[in-house]
Amino acid sequence: MSATLAVTQQRAGSGANRLGLSNFLRSSITFIVFLVLFAVLSLWLGGSFLSAQDRIFDLHQNVPLLVLGLAAVTILSVNQFDLSIGGMATLTAYLSAGLYADNGFPMWLAIVASLAVGVVGGLVNALLVVKMRINAFIATIGTGGVFLGASRVYGNGTVLVPDEGLPGWFAGRESFGSFSSKVPAVVMWVVLALLLVGAVAYVVRTLRAPAATPSLRSIRVACVVVGAAVAIAIWPTITGLVPLTVAFVLLVAIVMWLMFTRTVFGRYLYATGGNPRAARLAGVKVERQTTMAFVITGLLASVAGVVLAANQGSVAVDVAQPMLLPAYAAAFLSTVLLSTGRLHVWGCILGGLFVVWIRQALIIGGVPFTWAEVVNGGVLVAAVAASRLLTSKDRR
Partner 1 sequence: MTSDDAPPRTTPVVTLRGLRKSFGPNAVLVGLDLTIREGEFVGLMGPNGAGKSTLIKILDGVHAADEGAIEFRGRPVGSFTTLPEVGFVHQDLGIVDDLTVVENLRLGLPPLRRAGPLLDLGAERGAASEALRRVALDVPLDLPARELSAGEKALLAVARLLSTGARFLVIDEATSTLPPNDARRFIATLKDLTSDGATVLFVSHKLSEVRSCCDRVVLLLDGAIAFDEELDPDNEGQLAEILGHQTAAPSDTARVRRAADGRAVFALDRAFVGQVGPVDLHVERGEVVGLTGLVGSGLHDVAYLAAGIARPRSGARTFHGRRLAIVAPQRETEGTIADISVSENLTLSALPQWRRRGLLSLRRERRDVEHQVDALNVQPPDPDLPLGALSGGNQQKVLFGRALVTGADFLIICEPTRGVDIATRHELYRVIHELAAGGVAILVVTSDAEDLFAVCDRVGVLHEGSVRGPWPRSELDAESMALVL
Tell me the C-alpha distance between 387 and 30, whole Å.
9
Under rule CB under 8 A, residue 282 binds partner 1: yes
Helices and strands, counts by H and E, the chain? 15, 0
Residue spans of alpha helices (H) in 342-371:
345-364
Kind plus residue range of the DSSP H or E element containing 227:
helix 214-238
Closest CA to 65 of 35, 40, 41, 89: 89
Contact 356, 350 (CB under 8 A): no
- Closest distance of CB 280 from partner 1, Å: 8
Q: Does 278 bind partner 1 (CB under 8 A)?
A: yes
Q: Show contacts with partner 1 in window 232-271 (CB under 8 A).
A: 258, 261-264, 267-268, 270-271
- Shortest Cβ 329–partner 1 spacing (Å): 21
**Are 165 and 172 within 8 A, CB to CB?**
yes
State which of residues 9, 48, 53, 237 lies at the interface with partner 1 (CB under 8 A): 9
Nearest-angstrom CA–CA distance, 196 and 203: 11
Name the one range near partner 1 by CB under 8 A: 113-121, 124-132, 275-283, 320-328. Answer: 275-283
The amino acid sitting at 194 is L
Q: How far apart are CA 44 and CA 32, in angstroms?
A: 18
Options 2-10, 25-33, 143-151, 318-326: segment touching partner 1 (CB under 8 A): 2-10
Residue 277 within binding range of partner 1, rule CB under 8 A? yes
Q: Cα(245)–Cα(108) distance, rounded to whole angstroms?
A: 17
Side-chain-facing half-sphere of 242: CA atoms under 13 Å:
19
Q: Which of 51, 53, 135, 275 binds partner 1 (CB under 8 A)?
A: 275
281 lies in the binding site for partner 1 (CB under 8 A): yes
Question: CA angle at residue 202 from 197 to 205, to 5 degrees?
Answer: 120
Applying CB under 8 A, the site for partner 1 has a residue count of 41
- CA 46 remoteness from chain centre: 28
Cβ proximity to partner 1: between 179 and 270 the closer is 270
**Binding pattern for the stretch 189-208 against partner 1, x by CB under 8 A and - elsewhere:** --------------------
Instruction: Find out whether 66 and 328 touch, Cβ atoms under 8 Å.
Output: no
Closest CA to 207 of 197, 222, 195, 194: 222
The least CB distance from residue 326 to partner 1, in Å, is 25
Q: Does 16 bind partner 1 (CB under 8 A)?
A: yes
In this complex, which beta carbon is closest to partner 1, that of residue 38 or of residue 265? 265
Q: CB–CB of 304/67 below 8 Å?
A: yes
- Establish if 18 lies at the interface with partner 1 (CB under 8 A): yes
Check binding of 274 to partner 1 (CB under 8 A). yes
Q: Which of 47, 104, 283, 368 forms a contact with partner 1 (CB under 8 A)?
A: 283
**By the rule CB under 8 A, 279 interacts with partner 1:** yes
Interaction between residue 394 and partner 1 (CB under 8 A): yes
- x/- contact string, 341-360, with partner 1 (CB under 8 A)? xx------------------
Binding residues for partner 1 (CB under 8 A): 1, 3-5, 7-16, 18-20, 212, 258, 261-264, 267-268, 270-271, 274-275, 277-284, 341-342, 394-395
